[in-house]
């Protein structure tokens, strides 16, 4: 019998410096179409959704437990008095007439069990009393949000050839792309969307950071750039602040994560040079490359 088991917490396996001895290989990204054709990610999302469905409705093996949302009879002491057990009609049941500020109140959750398919079901027993989703459903905290595998957006430099000219504009750009995740809290499946907020560029030369909401544009429409005034070797670090929103399975409302997450990306080092020292003996796109291109 194959039953869909609960999703286990992810195990992190950190492999420090497992260098494979220099063997040959084409760059891995030549074999994959990346966004929007995210084949593996879409497949994983579909499988995760299917797994949750079959957790709630196992098709393999005998059905020994059922759950349903229901109501409690008015004047009931203890939860066994419910229309589900025939103790009163729905009209006489206590309705959750509470103001949840736009959310639909969550009805009490009942379950019943039996020891085998040929045995009768037990009565419906209350599992949760219900209430407003904000009180009853889990909150995705900023700590939960920061645990998601957020990929840093790609940092693009223009020019990107290992050197830039002093006193000329060095353009920086990135992309403002949302990332979607599936996760789980206390048995509830959750959709999460992370949105880039501000981009902070540290140019590595003791000048003020550039903080912007613009993802930047390439030349000549560039709006995010820096002018280096000193010669030397530098690296640029882009720190992105992310906001999050999430939606719990079975509800329609998107809720905001209180707080932000951060990702960081650093460029390869590059040299800030003067124009004079940039005389080369041929085009740098030639093969073989002239020595003074590097």
The least CB distance from residue 251 to another protein, in Å, is 23
The stretch near another protein (CB under 8 A) out of 22-30, 56-64, 77-85, 131-139 is 22-30
Nearer to another protein by Cβ, of 96 and 265: the residue is: 265
The least CB distance from residue 266 to another protein, in Å, is 5
Within 13 Å, how many C-alpha atoms sit on residue 75's CB side? 5
DSSP β-bridge partners for residue 66: 112
20 binds another protein (CB under 8 A): yes
Q: In which region does residue 215 sit, left (phi positive, over 0), alpha (psi from -120 to 50) or beta (all else)?
A: alpha
149 binds another protein (CB under 8 A): yes
d(CA 196, CA 55): 34
Phi then psi dihedrals of residue 221, to 5 deg: -100, 20
Nearer to another protein by Cβ, of 64 and 148: the residue is: 148
The stretch near another protein (CB under 8 A) out of 72-80, 83-91, 113-121, 262-270 is 262-270
Continuous H helices in 57-157:
133-136, 142-146
How wide is the angle at C-alpha 283 spanned by C-alphas 278 and 289, nearest 5°? 95
SS3 52: helix
The least CB distance from residue 162 to another protein, in Å, is 11
d(CA 283, CA 294): 12
Using CB under 8 A as the criterion, what x/- string covers residues 28-67 for binding another protein?
xxxxxxxx--xxxx-xx--xx-xx--x-------------
The residue among 174, 147, 143, 145 whose CA lies nearest residue 239 is: 174
Nearer to another protein by Cβ, of 27 and 283: the residue is: 27
Q: Which of 22, 186, 279, 283 binds another protein (CB under 8 A)?
A: 22
DSSP β-bridge partners for residue 247: 191
The least CB distance from residue 242 to another protein, in Å, is 16
Using CB under 8 A as the binding rule, the residues of this chain from 210 to 239 that contact another protein are: 237-238
Q: Which of 266, 271, 273, 293 binds another protein (CB under 8 A)?
A: 266
> Rounded to 10 degrees, what is the CA torsion of 223, 225, 229, 230?
180
The least CB distance from residue 59 to another protein, in Å, is 13
The residue among 161, 160, 171, 67 whose CA lies nearest residue 122 is: 67
1 binds another protein (CB under 8 A): no
Beta carbons within 8 Å of 241's beta carbon, 6+ residues apart? 196, 197, 198, 199, 200, 260, 261, 262
151 binds another protein (CB under 8 A): yes
Looking only at the bridges linking them, the beta strands covering 93-94 and 72-73 are: antiparallel
The least CB distance from residue 140 to another protein, in Å, is 18
150 binds another protein (CB under 8 A): no
Nearer to another protein by Cβ, of 11 and 77: the residue is: 11
Using CB under 8 A as the criterion, what x/- string covers residues 174-193 for binding another protein?
--------------------
Phi then psi dihedrals of residue 241, to 5 deg: -100, 130
Chain positions contacting another protein, by CB under 8 A:
2-5, 7-15, 17-35, 38-41, 43-44, 47-48, 50-51, 54, 149, 151-152, 154-155, 237-238, 264-268, 287
């Amino acid at each position: 019998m194959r039953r869909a088991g609960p999703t286990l917490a992810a195990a992190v396996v950190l492999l420090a410096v497992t260098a494979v001895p220099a063997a040959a290989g084409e760059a891995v990204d030549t074999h994959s179409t990346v966004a929007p054709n995210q084949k593996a990610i879409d497949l994983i999302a579909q499988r995760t959704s299917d797994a949750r469905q079959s957790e709630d409705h196992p098709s393999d093996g005998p059905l020994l437990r059922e759950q349903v949302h229901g109501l409690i009879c008015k004047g009931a002491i203890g939860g066994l008095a419910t229309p589900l057990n025939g103790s009163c009609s729905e009209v006489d049941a206590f309705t959750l007439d509470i103001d949840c500020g736009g959310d639909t109140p969550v009805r009490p959750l009942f379950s019943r069990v039996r020891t085998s398919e040929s045995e009768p079901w037990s009565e419906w027993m209350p599992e949760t009393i219900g209430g407003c989703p904000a009180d009853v459903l889990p909150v995705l905290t900023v700590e939960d949000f920061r645990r998601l595998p957020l990929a840093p957006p790609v940092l693009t430099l223009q020019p990107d050839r290992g050197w830039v000219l002093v006193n000329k504009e060095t353009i920086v750009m990135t992309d403002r792309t949302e990332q979607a995740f599936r996760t789980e809290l206390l048995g509830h499946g959750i959709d999460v969307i992370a949105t880039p907020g501000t981009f902070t560029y540290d140019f590595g030369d003791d000048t003020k950071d550039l903080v912007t909401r613009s993802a930047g544009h390439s030349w000549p429409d560039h709006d995010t750039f820096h002018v280096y005034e000193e010669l030397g070797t530098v690296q640029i670090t882009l720190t992105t602040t992310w906001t999050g929103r999430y939606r719990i399975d079975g509800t329609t409302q998107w809720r905001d994560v209180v707080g932000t997450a951060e990702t960081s990306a650093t460029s390869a080092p590059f040299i800030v040079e003067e124009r004079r020292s940039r005389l080369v003996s041929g085009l740098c796109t030639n093969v073989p490359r002239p020595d003074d291109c590097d």
